Structure 1
Amino acid sequence: MKRSTALAFAGATLAALAALAWAFAPRPLEVETAAVAEGPFEATVDEDARTRLRDRYVVSAPLAGRLDRITLREGDAVTEGLVVATLTPALSPLLDERSLRELQARVEAARAGVERASARLESAKVAVLQAGNEARRSEELARQGFVAPTKLESDRLALLAAQKDQEAATAERHVALHEAEQARAALGAAQRGGGPAFPIKAPVAGRVLRVVQASEATVALGAPLLELGDTARMEVVTDLLTTEAVKLRPGQPVHIERWGGPGELQGRVRLVEPGGFTKVSALGVEEQRVRALIELTSPPEQWRSLGDGFRVGVRIVVQARPRALQVPLAAVFPRTDALGMAVFVVDGSRARLQPVEVAARSATHACVTQGPAAGTRVVIYPPAGLADGGRVRGRKI
């Protein structure tokens, strides 16, 4: 064989071998990458919620009689003491002993309601004084550096809650006095054997939520006529899993979103009810849930268009850090040795396995105390075939 032919054959063989090596060489995996960031971090409990009035009042008929047509409609504003309906007593010529005793018992119950409401109001005043003293004591100790700022903030929130409770107790006493007045008037009309038209007045200022009996009709004693409520005293209620509710404390901030208006509304946890209940999920799974009540802290002008029973979304902040290292949650996965979590860091064209310590999680990111530096790109949704040192070709998102 000629020398030139041998060289040509050897060159062709080497080219074929190189082509086969290239054809069967492992290709770099195409992956999506994202950068590790550093900044404010919030771990939240996300759930659907609804709005509701903190207090609603049902105006009922204090005696049996002929009801005139109610001209008020849903949404109309009323003031305390405004005549909302007129009732003409329809009493039999001979008032039997049982009916008389029922009206007398109603007067006694109304009087007891006034006493109970007065006692609650006095208790609320004492609670305000006690909370005020505790807040002032904490402020003095905080200036001297003997208490933590969180204790001072808790005492201030406790004072605010006590003041709100005193306002509610005052409103309850107004309602109790109004009911007692109506009960005494009904008993007097019955003992007189009928009389002129009896005006039914609004116990509180607010708006009409529902007119139960709009048309003229004969109504029985205690029949509901309409519902009233103060739309300026709105709150948000949500049903949380009990495993999530144990993380909540009164005063924790809440972001209210998906309410239909621009931006987010702000609120804070007012109360986590102590009793849970069983609820069946959409998948047919029984869940233990508990209600959390959220107080709106945004200006009323911002959420004036919200009404009773509107659907919203809430994000309750259970942990907040002003500066934290954040890794996309889709990049974090359990290590094969079950000793913690890890991520794949992009090092040039290679993916390097790096352990991380996760301190908290949000809906999109994980807060890590040990991990890659800020700005490092990590693989999100790492494919099953990716191993430490594997070749990758990243796509930024």
Structure 2
Amino acid sequence: MPRLRDSLRRIPAFFGRLGFLKKRSVLFGAAVVLVLLLVALWPRAMEVDLATATVGELLVTVDEEGETRVRERYMVSAPAAGEIRRIELEPGDPVEAGRTVVARLRPSAPVPLDVRTRAETEAAMQAAQAALGRAQAERARAATVATRAQQRYARLRDLQDSGAIARDTMEAQQAEAQAARDAVESAEHAVEQARHELAAARARLIRQGAVAEDPAPDASDAGDIDGDDLLVFAPVDGVVLRRLRESRGVVPAGAELLEVGDARGLEIVSDLLSSEAVGVSSGDPVRIEQWGGGETLRGRVRRIEPAGFLKISALGVEEQRVNVIIDFEDPVEAREALGDAYRVEVRIVVWQKPDALKLPVGSLFREGGDWAVFVAEDGRARLRTLTLGPRNDREAEVEEGLREGEQVVLYPADDLRDGARIKPRGD
């Protein structure tokens, strides 16, 4: 019994000690949770990309694709209608002005006549034959009259010498004899005219099969030149740029045959947006890139054409474009691999400064109505507004608000704020 009473007296003390331990555990757990919350909510440094403001050359350019073309090009066309022989010259073959035969043209075969036209032509030929016979008969009659008049004049002249006839009679007979000779000459001309008219009528009846053909139509015409062939010579020294017609055939007058020019005399034509072209001036320097060579070529704007034109872009947008003509400044040897209609990329320099304080445009953003950047200072991002000068699509000139060597945040995040902790990406 005494032991039971002692045990019962110890029960309240035991539960007292349990309550104290429980209270300490709750306080310890709350402290741990608070520490974890502080660690989770403690602001961390944001990883950012940094760029440095530097002093160097800054160019403002108008960038566009361009195409090379021969400055002086000539189109060789058929000077008359006829049958062109096969053109053996290939693109790239050299030609010499006034010496190289670029094409040979021969008279074309006659056009076949329909039934009515042939009947009319045959009737015209028969009429010409009749006219020739009549002219010949008239010539014979005139010759007889002239002979008779000359004989009579000879007899009267003998009588005049003896004084048997009057002088007036003699002069009248002399005039008659001269008129008879003139009639004979006129009849001769009439005969010649009738013969030519008959020949013309016969020519209209020439059939196509009657025209002589080449012995080997598929062979080269290099040594087969008829006396009737019309030779077409190269207009300038250079090379054949394009051969527009190769095979033999009938062509009309003015048909385009070849295009020739001096491939060393190249220029570049680039079509700019009209809004960009207004900022370009004649004489602006040009950098020529992406042409296939290892180095950048130099050029200069020679002319901005006064008239624009409408062009549909690849996205289907209507654009007003203006052609800008650019001359090469490098020697021919530096660009001898380029030819006619080659693609290049041109950068027309409209503004440049050799010692501009510049930074990447990817660090800029708008703060109200001003340009601003985040400058990295002692591990924190500091908002700073800037005064900018000219800029291109990669860099901008800083006139006020930044010093050389200061670092700025590239492509700042939307949630980056002034004073936020930052660190370079990768550290």
TM-score (structure 1 length as normaliser)? 0.69
CA deviations over 1:338-368 (Å, ceiling 9, x no partner)? 1x20111011211001111111112211111
AA matched with 1:84: V
Give the counterpart of 2:237 among 201, 205, 222: 205
Q: Does 1:44 align with 2:61?
A: yes
Deviation of the 1:71 alpha carbon: 1.6
**1:248-259 to 2 correspondence within 5 Å?**
248-259=280-291
Give the counterpart of 2:101 among 67, 70, 83: 83
**1:114-193 to 2 correspondence within 5 Å?**
none
AA matched with 1:204: V
Deviation of the 1:91 alpha carbon: 8.3
Counterparts in 2 of 1:91 and 1:10: CA distance versus 1, 3 Å: closer
Deviation of the 1:43 alpha carbon: 0.7
| Stretch of structure 1 that moved more, 84-93 or 348-357 | 84-93
Helix, strand or coil: the match of 1:330? helix
AA matched with 2:384: Q
Distance 1:309 1:7 in 2: 89
CA deviations over 1:270-299 (Å, ceiling 9, x no partner)? 111111122222222222221111111111
Q: Does 1:63 align with 2:44?
A: no
Distance 1:396 1:62 in 2: 75
Deviation of the 1:232 alpha carbon: 1.1
Deviation of the 1:73 alpha carbon: 0.4
What's the RMSD between the two structures over aligned residues? 2.6
Give the counterpart of 2:313 among 274, 277, 281: 281
Deviation of the 1:16 alpha carbon: 4.2
User: After TM superposition, where is structure 1 displaced by more than 6 Å over at least 4 residues in a row?
Assistant: 4-12
AA matched with 1:71: E
Distance 2:86 2:343 in 1: 33
Give the counterpart of 2:371 among 316, 337, 341: 341
Give the counterpart of 2:274 among 242, 247, 269: 242
| Stretch of structure 1 that moved more, 344-353 or 23-32 | 23-32
Distance 2:42 2:426 in 1: 25
Helix, strand or coil: the match of 1:247? coil
Cα contact 1:77–1:206 (8 A) shared by 2: yes
Distance 1:353 1:53 in 2: 54
Distance 2:63 2:390 in 1: 15
Counterparts in 2 of 1:12 and 1:396: CA distance versus 1, 3 Å: closer
Distance 1:7 1:350 in 2: 41
Deviation of the 1:371 alpha carbon: 2.8
Equivalent pairs counted in the alignment come to 295
Cα contact 1:257–1:314 (8 A) shared by 2: yes
AA matched with 2:345: G
CA deviations over 1:88-138 (Å, ceiling 9, x no partner)? 234879xxxxxxxxxxxxxxxxxxxxxxxxxxxxxxxxxxxxxxxxxxxxx
Distance 1:217 1:16 in 2: 98
AA matched with 2:399: T
Q: Does 1:295 align with 2:331?
A: no
Give the counterpart of 2:246 among 191, 204, 214: 214
AA matched with 2:93: D
Deviation of the 1:15 alpha carbon: 5.2
Cα contact 1:33–1:396 (8 A) shared by 2: no
Distance 1:87 1:256 in 2: 44
| Stretch of structure 1 that moved more, 277-286 or 357-366 | 277-286
Deviation of the 1:382 alpha carbon: 0.4
Deviation of the 1:334 alpha carbon: 1.1
Deviation of the 1:310 alpha carbon: 1.1
Distance 2:247 2:311 in 1: 39
Deviation of the 1:53 alpha carbon: 1.4
Match of 1:359 in 2: 389
Cα contact 1:327–1:366 (8 A) shared by 2: yes
Deviation of the 1:324 alpha carbon: 0.4
Distance 1:284 1:343 in 2: 37
Deviation of the 1:303 alpha carbon: 1.1
Distance 1:25 1:246 in 2: 55
Deviation of the 1:306 alpha carbon: 1.0
Deviation of the 1:215 alpha carbon: 2.1
Helix, strand or coil: the match of 1:22? helix
TM-score (structure 2 length as normaliser)? 0.64
Deviation of the 1:18 alpha carbon: 3.2
Deviation of the 1:12 alpha carbon: 6.7
Distance 1:348 1:78 in 2: 73
Deviation of the 1:8 alpha carbon: 9.3
